[in-house]
Structure 1
Amino acid sequence: MTLEERIQDVNRRIEQACRRSGRTPEEVKIVAVTKYVSPAMTAKVLDSGLEHIGENRWQNAQDKWEALGHRGTWHFIGHLQTNKVKDVIGKFEYIHSLDRLSLAKELEKQAAARGLQVKAFLQVNISGEDSKYGLPPEEAASFLQEIQNFSHIKVIGLMTMAPFEDEAEDTRFVFRGLRELRDELNRRGITQEPLTELSMGMSNDFEVAIEEGATWIRLGSILVGKEEGEG
């Protein structure tokens, strides 16, 4: 399939998932994950009309951002080492992987130095897998309270990663758990403004994530593909 055909197929599946769950496609935004493709392919993604680009390591993103960073909106979606904050701050409008106080402090420091505000998702490990990054759900409220005076970080929502399952339905509890956690945090008034966003769902399970309330889905292989020699 061509890129255009893959986009059409994904959009059709988004529409169907929204119809099943009483939502509208406008509520769901796509982050095109380009970590396994070249700058040339990333340019094609932007040319196609997709506006949001997701990368998970600065080392892989640097060439693409230097060539194309003036186009689109860039999302850092991978685990962010504290010593890499200085590289990504000011380049990536969204950080999807805020998961510890040391990272929050460095983001605040670097953003303050540049007069910026960073939009961040709090990463939560709903599945409880040892291999997954993210705060345990029971620590989310206290973490948000601890950083509420960090004026250069705006936490807009929550992010999680589900286990890879042969049956996407088996991931539903993860996405439902993240939505329920967001709603509980909002009921408790933990943040100054309500958390509105849920970054969840990837190529293998995005339809279930949409049915459970995803507002951002992160799609790589099913949308962008993977080029030989990349990654």
Structure 2
Amino acid sequence: MSIAGNLGIIEEKIAAAAVKAGRAPSSVRLVAVSKMQSAAAVDAAARAGQRLFGENYVQELAAKSEEVRESVTWHFIGSLQSNKVRLIAGLVTMIHSVDRLSLAQEIDRQWGRLGKVCDVLVQVNVSGESTKSGSSSGQVLDLVRDISRLSHVRIKGLMTMPPFFDDPEGARPFFRELRRLSGLIGDEGIANVEMTELSMGMSGDFQVAIEEGATLVRIGSAIFGERIARVR
């Protein structure tokens, strides 16, 4: 199956999951995860109508963005070191993985130098797994309050990565918890904070994530197939 064919299948599944949940298909955006894929693969997906892409590695994104010929939008979705923020400043329109105040402060500094504002999602480790990044559920509200005071960062919602399950239903409680936290934070009415985005769900469980409120689903292998070697 071609990239265009795979995209068509994914889009149909996204629409069906949204309708099942009583939502408009347009309320869910597909982030095509292009990490360890070639610029040519990104161009092929873009020509098939996909315009939003997610990358996990700073150097790979910086290099690939110069090679891609089609007009696309980039989100950064991976773990981000503060000392690498400057390399993607102004290049991405959203960062999904803000998990600490020091990182948000560096984003604020770098986007401030450009006179721009960066949309971010606060990453929450809803499972409590030590191998995953993110604020704890108990600390996320305080983190959101702290970040909200930065003038060049705008919080748009939350992101999470649940544990892996063979059965996607296993991830449902974690998606539901992120939606609960989103509602709790939204009810606080914090200035400079919108809980309009929930980034959750990947190739194996995105339909369940949509049923639980996902607005951004991050899908890579189901679109592009096997990955090429990582570009550092």
Whether TM-score is above 0.5 comes out as yes
Separation in 2, partners of 1:193, 1:128: 24
The answer to whether 1:64 aligns with 2:95 is: no
Q: Aligned partner of 1:18: which letter?
A: A
What residue in structure 2 maps to residue 166 of structure 1? 166
Residues 43-94 of structure 1: per-residue CA shift (max 9 Å, x gap): 1111111010110001222221112387211000000000000001110111
Name 1:102's counterpart in structure 2: 102
SS of corresponding position for 1:147: helix
- The answer as to whether partners of 1:78 and 1:96 remain within 8 angstroms in 2 is yes
Name the structure 2 match of 1:3: 3
Alignment correspondent of 2:19 = 19
| SS in structure 1 at match of 2:35 | coil
**Structure 1 residue 3: deviation in Å?**
1.2
> Secondary structure of the equivalent of 1:154?
strand
Q: Which amino acid aligns with 1:45?
A: A
- Paired AA for residue 22 in structure 1: G
**So what's the TM-score if we normalise by structure 2?**
0.95
Q: Partners in 1 of 2:6 and 2:66 — Cα distance?
A: 26
Deviation at 1:36, TM superposition (A): 2.1
RMSD over equivalenced CA pairs, Å: 1.5
Give the drift of 1:144: 1.4
In 1, the alpha carbon distance for the partners of 2:165 and 2:197 equals 24
Identity of aligned residues (%): 41
Counterpart position of 2:214: 214
Aligned pairs for 1:48-87 within 5 A: 48-68=48-68, 71-87=71-87
Deviation sequence 1:168-227 (CA, Å, 0-9, x none): 000001100000100011112234443111000000100000000000000000112224
Alignment of 1:182-221 (within 5 A): 182-221=182-221
Structure 1, unaligned stretches of length 5 or more? none
Match of residue 121 from structure 1: 121
Aligned residue pairs total: 231
| Alignment check: 8 A CA contact 1:124 1:134 kept | yes
Tell me the amino acid that sits aligned with residue 79 of structure 1: S
Displacement of 1:101 = 1.0
- Structure 2 distance, partners of 1:207, 1:139, is 28
Alpha-carbon distance in 1 for matches of 2:164, 2:126: 14
